Structures are given as C-alpha cells and as structure tokens.
Homo-oligomer: A and B are copies of this chain.
Amino acid sequence: MSEVESFFKSAFSVDNVIFGFDGGDLKVLLIQRGAAPYRGKWALPGDLVYPNEDLDTAAERVLEQLTGLRGVYLEQVKAFGAVDRHPLGRVITIAYYSLIKIDDYAVTPASFAQSARWHDFAHIGELAFDHNEILETCLKQLKHKVRMAPVGFELLPPKFTLTELQQLYESILETELDKRNFRKKILSMNLLIDLNEVQEGVAHRPAKLYQFDRVKYEQFVGEGFTFDV
C-alpha cells in the first residue's frame, strides 16, 4: 500500500449526545451496541458519515433514525481522533449534542442498536470507545451554552412553568438557584409569553404556564441583546 493510499485508509463518524429532560433529571439517550466491537455495551448513537453526506446531515440522520425527529437543535462540539480510539481502524469522530423534548421521543431503535434507553446523567457507567469522554465534553459545552443562549427551552414542552425552567437549569448546571432571583431575572428579559393558563390536576396551587417567545428573542438580539442567566 502506498503512502498516499494509507492516508485514505481511514473513516469518520459522527456521535450524538442526545439530551432530554423529564422534569427532574437531565437524561441522555444511549444505545446498547448490537455488533462488535463493544457488543452489548452502552454507547452514544452514531454512524459512519456517508461519502456524499455533510457532517451535520449525518448527525441529523443518526438522530432521525433513532428518534424519528427532525428539525431538532443540534450543535457540533469537537472532533475526537486519538489513533487508538477505535479498535478496528483509524476512525475519527465528530461529536454533536442535540436537545430534544423528551415527550416527542417514541421508541424506534435503529437497526444498528439492540435497544435504546434514557439514562440518568448521574448514573452512567462505562461506555464503549471513548464515549465517556465525549459525553463529559458535550455536557461541559451545554453548561456554557445554556447560560449564553436560550437553548434550554429546546428541552421543555412548548408550555412550561417557571419551576420546571428553574429545575432544568439546576440539573444542567448542577447547582441550586434562588427561586425569587431566578424568576426576577427570567421575567425581566421579557421573553416569556404568559399564556394565562395554569397546570391542571396537581395537588397544590397550580402554576402558570409560559411559552418562549422566539420572535421577540430574535428581535432583541438584532437590537444588541445577549441572553444571560
């Protein structure tokens, strides 16, 4: 094999950290591998990138094959390319994370997965490949992003309460927030639409429901506003 050929004896893949939020904890959708290597191990959903496919498209495809969802928030994070990261050859992978509304997810495990399941972020064991490292890197990125852009709303249903929003931030940032200060800050941005609806069927005072006002957000950004929690 010539030297030039050996440069092409390599492949690239995408791996996708799919985050969800169930009202209490931050979750990650993992698949149990159905094929070698690491058969039976939990892993991030991913696939080789097709020769005629853009990277983002490949990440979207992986997500759609697994969840059936399209048009979801997706962000590239980092390339992982250690020489020995894949036991079968030189494969570098481009890591993405995506944020989905957990209720939208219907179980449709792709052919390459034995099964898929939501995992509590706090209780994830040893994953295949370097996927633990990828997961950590993506969470770190999400922690940054969620404070500087209104991406947290991607994880919530269209109608949500302020307490749900606060719990979302608390679980992503792994910290506790003061209720009054949080509400003051969020509401002072004028980015939430008060729907004049309340929760139903709860055994306590029902909370008001809000919606994120994307149109207003785009407008404010155009005027120099930067989201900051």
Contacts and interface: CB of A to CB of B under 8 A. Distances in A.
A90 B55 CA distance: 12
A8 B8 CA distance: 6
A60 to B, nearest CB: 13
Interface residues of A, number: 25
B8 A52 contact: no
Interface in A10-67: 10-12, 48-55
B53 A83 contact: yes
> How many identical subunits does the complex contain?
2
Contact of A51 (B9, B51, B54, B82): B9
A6 interface: yes
Given A55-B81, A81-B94, A83-B52, A9 B8 contact: yes
A135 to B, nearest CB: 17
A90 B49 CA distance: 11
A15 to B, nearest CB: 12
B12 A92 contact: yes
B7 A90 contact: no
Interface in A94-124: 94
A90 B76 CA distance: 19
A79 interface: yes
B11 A11 contact: no
20 contacts: A7-B48, A7-B51, A8-B11, A10-B10, A10-B11, A10-B51, A12-B12, A12-B81, A12-B92, A49-B81, A49-B92, A51-B90, A53-B83, A54-B82, A55-B79, A55-B81, A55-B82, A55-B92, A76-B78, A76-B79
